């Protein structure tokens, strides 16, 4: 099936404005996407105050498939839904000249939620594409990009991709060194994309050395704003909290990935909205993020390459 493909001939990659135009067009010609888009505005929203920060809870039933996605994918078990031949007929693609294409996320969590997809069918791997992540963030200034490692929220780990939403929706973006975010993370900032990519690579290698194995459990949130690249590297211990697998009232269907770690908790089940308070937020963050001993060692080491 042929997809309408727009080539961004003048620029290497679409801008936020190009992306917004694509979003508008897709609302007009894709009923399922329009319906999912409208669901966001009907969604119940609650706030949980956690000290000087706030967590946003959002009930989105159309995200259930993503929340409950298998953590391990057997190669060739299913058609890859990010490869061009398997995209829905209505999905339009903004092609670029840098090996990544932009499309709307058909199951948006917020208004203007996009997927940035590698042209090649290669596995999710941030370190191999870290500089590209920040270059894309610059092209998409005004948007915040994020990456979910396999097993830490990537529902299609077999095909490398990033996601993007408008900046300043995620509460983590309001944190700084005087007012640190609620979950353990390494914040990096520089006017040079390469600097930030290297800082993250250093942090990643350090955890790999501590663990003595391939380390592929983390989330990254990043953006380019006022001449600066910013990133939050969030190393993880676990993909899901224990409450995901409990039964009855104790169960919370939550699969924390970049958005949730950044303070926007997507809950597909309406009854879970009333189960979460500040204590639960802290307990889940502590449970799924890197353990305190390793995080302390990482934080200490990171001062050598990251003055922040």
How many angstroms separate the CA atoms of 23 and 12, rounded? 19
Give 10 or 89: the residue with its C-beta nearer to Zn ion: 89
Give 84 or 142: the residue with its C-beta nearer to Zn ion: 84
80 scored as a contact of Zn ion (CB under 5 A): yes
Which residues 6+ apart lie within 8 Å of 265 measured at CB?
55, 56, 57, 58, 254, 256, 259, 276
How many angstroms separate the CA atoms of 228 and 138, rounded? 9
How many angstroms separate the CA atoms of 156 and 82, rounded? 8
Q: Minimum CB separation from Zn ion for residue 143, in Å?
A: 23
β partners of residue 102: 94, 116
161 scored as a contact of Zn ion (CB under 5 A): no
6 scored as a contact of Zn ion (CB under 5 A): no
Q: Minimum CB separation from Zn ion for residue 80, in Å?
A: 3
Coil/strand/helix, residue 83 = coil
81 scored as a contact of Zn ion (CB under 5 A): no
Q: Minimum CB separation from Zn ion for residue 159, in Å?
A: 4
How many angstroms separate the CA atoms of 175 and 165, rounded? 18
Which residues from 141-160 bind Zn ion, rule CB under 5 A?
159
Which residues from 96-125 bind Zn ion, rule CB under 5 A?
121
C-alpha gyration radius of the chain: 19
Q: Single out the segment in contact with Zn ion by CB under 5 A; choices: 17-25, 76-84, 106-114, 170-178.
A: 76-84
Give 115 or 130: the residue with its C-beta nearer to Zn ion: 115
Give 80 or 131: the residue with its C-beta nearer to Zn ion: 80
Q: Which of 6, 82, 242, 280 binds Zn ion (CB under 5 A)?
A: 82
CB-count burial class (<10 Å; 0-12, 13-18, 19+) for 305: middle
Number of residues lying near Zn ion (CB under 5 A): 5
Q: Minimum CB separation from Zn ion for residue 73, in Å?
A: 11
Q: Which of 6, 83, 273, 280 binds Zn ion (CB under 5 A)?
A: 83
Is 49 within 8 Å of 129 (Cβ atoms)? no
Instruction: Give the interface with Zn ion as residue ranges (CB under 5 A).
Output: 80, 82-83, 121, 159
């Amino acid at each position: 099936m042929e997809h309408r493909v727009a080539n961004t001939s003048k620029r290497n990659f679409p801008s936020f404005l190009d992306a917004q135009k694509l979003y508008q067009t897709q609302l007009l010609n894709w009923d399922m996407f329009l319906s999912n888009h409208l669901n966001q505005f009907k969604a119940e929203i609650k706030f949980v105050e956690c000290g000087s920060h706030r967590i946003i809870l959002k009930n989105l039933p159309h995200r259930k498939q993503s929340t409950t996605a298998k953590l391990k994918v057997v190669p060739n078990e299913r058609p890859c839904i990010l490869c061009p031949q398997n995209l829905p007929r209505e999905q339009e693609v903004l092609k670029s000249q840098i090996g990544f294409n932009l499309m709307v996320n058909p199951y948006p969590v917020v208004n203007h939620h996009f997927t940035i997809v590698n042209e090649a069918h290669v596995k999710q791997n941030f370190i191999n594409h870290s500089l590209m992540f920040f270059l894309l963030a610059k092209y998409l200034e005004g948007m915040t990009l994020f990456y979910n490692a396999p097993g830490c929220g990537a529902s299609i780990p077999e095909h490398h991709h990033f996601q993007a939403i408008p900046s300043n929706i995620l509460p983590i973006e309001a944190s700084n060194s005087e007012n640190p975010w609620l979950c353990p993370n390494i914040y990096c900032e520089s006017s040079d994309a390469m600097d930030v990519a290297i800082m993250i690579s250093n942090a990643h290698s350090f955890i790999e050395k501590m663990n003595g194995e391939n380390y592929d459990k983390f989330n990254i949130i990043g953006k380019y704003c006022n001449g600066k690249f910013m990133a939050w590297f969030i190393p993880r211990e676990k993909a899901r909290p224990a409450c995901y697998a409990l039964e009855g009232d104790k169960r919370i269907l939550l699969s924390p990935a970049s958005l949730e770690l950044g303070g926007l908790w997507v809950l597909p089940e309406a009854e879970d909205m009333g189960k979460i308070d500040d204590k639960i937020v802290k307990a889940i963050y502590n449970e799924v993020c890197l353990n305190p001993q390793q995080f302390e060692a990482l934080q200490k080491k990171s001062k050598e390459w990251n003055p922040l």
